[in-house]
């Protein structure tokens, strides 16, 4: 004789093997009581999360998303872009994009006058992984450069794309 299926008015009354999704059970049984017991903490978490998202969206808009290595090659060949490498001199000597100019990030402000003539050309800014170059792109934008672009992934991405480097 088949077993009768028992119905439940509240999904939380159903056994774990029942029709209730486990994630729903976790939310109702553990997260919701925490939120009710600590509304200030949950509110602070929400505010911080929103601020982080807003800052990241603004940063992405300022950087324009950057360019990948293939797009950088296109810009260098077709639009006369120049490459600014912001790594230290020792790292630059170990390998850099052909015809790149080396101005370490720490000396950027004092060396801007030497590249003033390139303000109207696209500038591809690179470092080892793209992290330091992002702040340099913002500084070049404030200094009046028309098209400073971040090389997404930095020289690591350039190497992974098997593009040439020069050592001198």
Regarding pTM above 0.85, the answer is: no
From the list 106, 98, 142, the residue with the least C-alpha distance to 124 is: 98
Question: Of residues 141 and 31, which shows the higher confidence score?
Answer: 141
Phi then psi for residue 14, to 5 deg, are -70, 145
Q: Does the pLDDT value for residue 12 go beyond 60? A: no
What whole-number distance in Å separates Cα of residue 80 and Cα of residue 71? 13
Q: Does the pLDDT value for residue 96 go beyond 60? A: yes
Q: Does the pLDDT value for residue 17 go beyond 80? A: no
Q: What is the mean pLDDT of residues 91-114?
A: 90
Q: Quick one: what percent of the chain has pLDDT higher than 70?
A: 80
| Residues 60-74: tens digit of each pLDDT | 666 556 899 999 999
Element of type H or E holding 160: helix 154-160
Q: Does the pLDDT value for residue 83 go beyond 90? A: yes
């Amino acid at each position: 004789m088949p077993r009768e299926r028992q119905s439940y008015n509240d999904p939380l009354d159903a056994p774990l093997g029942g029709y209730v999704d486990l994630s729903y059970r976790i939310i109702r049984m553990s997260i919701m009581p925490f939120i009710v017991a600590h509304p200030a903490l949950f509110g602070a978490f929400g505010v911080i999360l929103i601020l982080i998202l807003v800052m990241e969206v603004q940063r992405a808009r300022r950087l324009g998303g950057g360019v990948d290595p293939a797009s950088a090659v296109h810009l260098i060949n077709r639009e006369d872009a120049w490459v600014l490498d912001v790594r230290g001199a020792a790292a630059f000597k170990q390998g850099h994009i052909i015809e790149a100019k080396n101005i370490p990030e720490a000396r950027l402000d004092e060396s801007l006058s030497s590249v003033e003539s390139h303000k109207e050309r696209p500038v591809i800014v690179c470092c080892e992984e793209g992290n330091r170059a992002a702040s340099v792109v913002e500084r070049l934008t404030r200094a009046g450069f028309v098209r400073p672009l971040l090389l997404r992934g930095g020289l690591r991405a350039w190497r992974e794309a098997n593009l040439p480097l020069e050592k001198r």
